[in-house]
Chain A
Amino acid sequence: AQKITQTQPGMFVQEKEAVTLDCTYDTSDPSYGLFWYKQPSSGEMIFLIYQGSYDQQNATEGRYSLNFQKARKSANLVISASQLGDSAMYFCAMREGPIGNQFYFGTGTSLTVIP
């Protein structure tokens, strides 16, 4: 079974609108971390936001927020007020167990922001 599932290969959003990128995960470990990364065409992996499995509140970082629904095992990324520079690949990833363990990456979502 896939550890991380991203079902949206490509998404389009109008500039200044909000967009939600979906991510579901599968683990039986009570301790895990969920990450979102942005990968522009240059290839670098830019860390966006993190949610720990024991965190009570949804994570937010500027225009990024993570809609964490633990019972549904979903960790959707919400980007508010989209900008042209947000056009990129977005990867959801999970770390099972303690910090230092390997990541499992989703297949990614290509986001295009339309002016």
Chain B
Amino acid sequence: GAVVSQHPSRVICKSGTSVKIECRSLDFQATTMFWYRQFPKKSLMLMATSNEGSKATYEQGVEKDKFLINHASLTLSTLTVTSAHPEDSSFYICSARGSLAGYGYTFGSGTRLTVV
């Protein structure tokens, strides 16, 4: 079946530093990648949608300069949290479109970011 590998699974970083999260489709080409943020015991909030080779489309209220999304290839999309602050601590998860598995959507395993 389709697999999306998301790394790292957990990361702790210091305030002011940047963190890069990778989502890689292992056995299919991810034409579209969705990035979500989830607060504890809350639902998934869509942050942005990226298509390979083009700029990401950000949801209202999401800072483009803070959450940099790159989808440079059909198998890799990255989310970089720049100048991280404690309020950026959250669970980030990606979902890839490109395989018929899961009726078109395959989720990564998520990244738990803690900014100290």
Contacts and interface: CB of A to CB of B under 8 A. Distances in A.
Interface string A81-112: 00000000101000100011011011110100
Nearest to A110: B41
Interface string B97-109: 1000011110101
B31 interface: yes
A63 B25 CA distance: 29
Contact of B97 (A45, A100, A105): A100
A103 B102 contact: no
Band of interface residues on B: 20 to 34
B11 to A, nearest CB: 13
Contacts of B41: 89, 108, 110
B95 to A, nearest CB: 7
Given A45-B107, A100-B104, A107 B43 contact: yes
A35 interface: yes
A103 B46 contact: yes
B44 A105 contact: yes
B103 A102 contact: no
Interface of A: 33, 35, 37, 42-45, 47, 50, 89, 91, 95, 99-100, 102-103, 105-108, 110
